Amino acid sequence: MTKGAPVPEPAADDDGHVLEFRLPDLGEGLADGDLVSWAVAVGDTVELNQTIAEVETAKAVVALPSPFSGVVVELLAQPGDTVLVGAPLIQVRNDLEVSAPPAAQPRTNVLVGYGPEAESTSRRRKATPSMAASTPSTHRAAATPAARKLAKELGIDLWFVAGSGPEGAVTVDDVRAAVPVTGPRTPARLGDVVPAPSNGHVTDGDGLIEPTAREERTPIAGIRKRTAAAMQASSRTIPQASTFVTVDCTASMELLDHLRTTSTFEGLTLTPLALVAKAALAAIAQYPGINTAWDEQNQEIVTKHYVNLGIAVASDRGLMVPNLKEAQSLSLRELCREINWAADTARSGNATPTDLRGGTFTLTNVGVFGVDSGVPLVNPGEAAILCLGSIRKRPWVFRDELAVRWVTTLGLSFDHRMVDGELGARFLATTAGFLEDPLTLLSRI
């Protein structure tokens, strides 16, 4: 971008050349986004499709391209602001009228990570015609129209309401239930000082409350806010149960050691998580009821004959769950590559909304933190989540003798509306069986 001279006020432009860019529809029925940063300043010259700002939504930071070129007149929001869809973001003076305002743009000119193609494919792998024909839409709404209308009337911020509708959508009942708990409120902005009891705080000469060294307050925004809403919805709306199995995975560890020396996996970081993912996918093929979704509106259980495998990733920005599209068709080598890619992309903050939405089954690895097991919450819109614990050498009875073996614990949390105890146990036992004897996976690797 090029720095320019001071520009006149927009009101003085009688020719209609000052164009206003409003926050566009960010997809998934989202009503707003958090402005992360500006890439331009007042007086800068911007080009068509140049990135002008970053907005965080759906656990991803989305780059906003400029729909026109010209000189920046005014920035209408500040980093940390929660901006409603349709609210003005920036004004640009375009003396040459070389481009049209956003309303004139075709619908296919969409933000990075969105678009017609992005609905059913990832940016790394194209779906085959057979996949596209058999894969239902994964577009997810954040709230029903009636719920949005009621929330607006009551002054309720939908980000603070946990959804119980299809795929976690907020319903009218959810909005009504949130009134005594949430109440009308304005989302906090990043950097705002939140008023609190005087204990642990001091007041400066202007009457502003400032935190002391004893406490630090961080506004709930961005990924943390969305994760909190999803987990609240999971805890409140999903009747969850869990089951566990301890597994002798010595044979799997020996197989991984051997595969790492082969040319097939040269240049790749082959971890136990990839083999666990392969075992889980093979078990899903035997027990498709574990890969389902609950459709409250139509009172149906939706069985999905494709697996978008979510991989839970701890990042500096919070928990992120990118998913591998059509994971059931991936070889072990491809799974290894895709898992590594998904983790690196999530940690670097480059995951798009397409990478993060549409998951059907999730795998989380708490073993990397030295934890033996865990009870994860099921993601709204899915039926189960598999937890891998640490893999350690432990005393184990092997062939009627005490031996030192590689052992781990697998945990499965599931939605008891769709998955009963028998199905959950059989799925988990089958996954464990593949890890105890990985040669049974040979035809699937």
The tens digit of pLDDT for each residue in 54-81 reads 888 755 778 888 888 899 999 999 988 8
Own/partner pairs for 416-422, CB < 8 Å, 24+ apart?
416/239, 416/240, 416/241, 417/238, 417/239, 417/294, 418/289, 418/292, 418/293, 418/294, 418/301, 418/383, 419/241, 419/289, 419/290, 419/292, 419/383, 419/384, 421/241, 421/243
**Do the domain assignments include residue 123?**
no
Domain boundary among 222, 256, 275: 222
Contact 332, 353 (CB under 8 A): no
310 SS3 class: strand
Instruction: Count Cβ neighbours within 10 Å for each residue of 31-62 and write b for 16 or more, e otherwise.
Output: bbbbbbebebeeebebeeebebbbbbbbbbbb
Q: Which residues touch 194 (CB under 8 Å, ≥6 apart)?
A: 188, 217, 219
- Are 29 and 100 part of one and the same domain? yes
Which is it for the CA torsion 432, 438, 444, 445, positive or negative? positive
> Which range, of 89-103, 302-316, 321-335, 368-382, averages the lowest pLDDT?
89-103
> Which range, of 2-16, 160-174, 199-213, 286-300, averages the lowest pLDDT?
2-16
Model pLDDT, residue 145: 62
Q: How far apart are CA 116 and CA 175, in angstroms?
A: 31
- Are 201 and 253 part of one and the same domain? no
Count other C-beta atoms under 10 Å from residue 280's C-beta: 29
Number of domains within the chain:
3
Q: Which residues pair with 63 in a beta bridge?
A: 54
**Do the domain assignments include residue 28?**
yes
Structure tokens at 248: 């002798």
Average pLDDT over residues 373-387: 93
- Are 382 and 280 part of one and the same domain? yes
**Do the domain assignments include residue 136?**
no
Q: Identify the active-site residue in 17, 139, 258, 416.
A: 416
**Do the domain assignments include residue 137?**
no
Average pLDDT over residues 392-420: 96
224 SS3 class: helix
**Do the domain assignments include residue 89?**
yes
Choice between 349 and 430, residue whose per-residue pLDDT is larger: 430
- Are 102 and 173 part of one and the same domain? no
Q: What is the domain-level CATH number for residue 7?
A: 2.40.50.100
Q: How far apart are CA 9 and CA 51, in angstroms?
A: 23
- Are 354 and 218 part of one and the same domain? no
Helix extents (H) in 211-290: 222-237, 250-260, 272-286
Structure tokens at 102: 């956003």
- Are 327 and 406 part of one and the same domain? yes
Q: How far apart are CA 202 and CA 211, in angstroms?
A: 7
Q: How confident is the model at residue 183 (pLDDT cuts 50, 70, 90)?
A: very low
338 pLDDT higher than 60: yes
- Are 245 and 357 part of one and the same domain? yes
Helix, strand, coil tally for the chain in percent (to 5): 30, 25, 45
The question of whether 258 is a catalytic residue gets the answer no
Q: How far apart are CA 36 and CA 59, in angstroms?
A: 12
**Do the domain assignments include residue 229?**
no
Q: Which residues touch 278 (CB under 8 Å, ≥6 apart)?
A: 332, 335, 434, 441, 444, 445
Contact 355, 122 (CB under 8 A): yes
Structure tokens at 246: 């301890």
- Are 218 and 246 part of one and the same domain? no
The model carries a pTM of 0.60
Q: How far apart are CA 389 and CA 336, in angstroms?
A: 18
pLDDT digits (tens, 9 = 90+) for 191-234: 344 344 444 444 444 545 455 577 887 777 777 777 777 788 78
Domain boundary among 222, 255, 285: 222
Query: Which structural domain, as residue segments, surrounds residue 160?
Result: 145-222
- Are 252 and 377 part of one and the same domain? yes
Q: Which residues pair with 394 in a beta bridge?
A: 405
Average pLDDT over residues 395-423: 96
- Are 255 and 210 part of one and the same domain? no
Structure tokens at 189: 């902005």
- Are 98 and 172 part of one and the same domain? no
Mean pLDDT of the chain: 78
Model pLDDT, residue 197: 40
Structure tokens at 310: 């979510």
Domain boundary among 64, 99, 115: 115
341 SS3 class: helix
Residue 38: its H or E element: strand 32-38
Q: What is the domain-level CATH number for residue 397?
A: 3.30.559.10
Share of the chain above pLDDT 70, in %: 74
Q: How far apart are CA 415 and CA 441, in angstroms?
A: 27
**Do the domain assignments include residue 227?**
no
Q: How far apart are CA 49 and CA 29, in angstroms?
A: 23
55-to-162, 322, 348 alpha-carbon distances in Å: 22, 18, 16
Structure tokens at 179: 């009134």
Model pLDDT, residue 317: 77
Give phi and psi for 117, each to the nearest 5: -70, -35
- Are 296 and 421 part of one and the same domain? yes
Q: What is the domain-level CATH number for residue 205?
A: 4.10.320.10
103 SS3 class: helix
Residue 151: its H or E element: helix 145-154
Q: How confident is the model at residue 329 (pLDDT cuts 50, 70, 90)?
A: very high
Contact 278, 297 (CB under 8 A): no
Q: Which residues touch 155 (CB under 8 Å, ≥6 apart)?
A: 184
**Do the domain assignments include residue 121?**
no
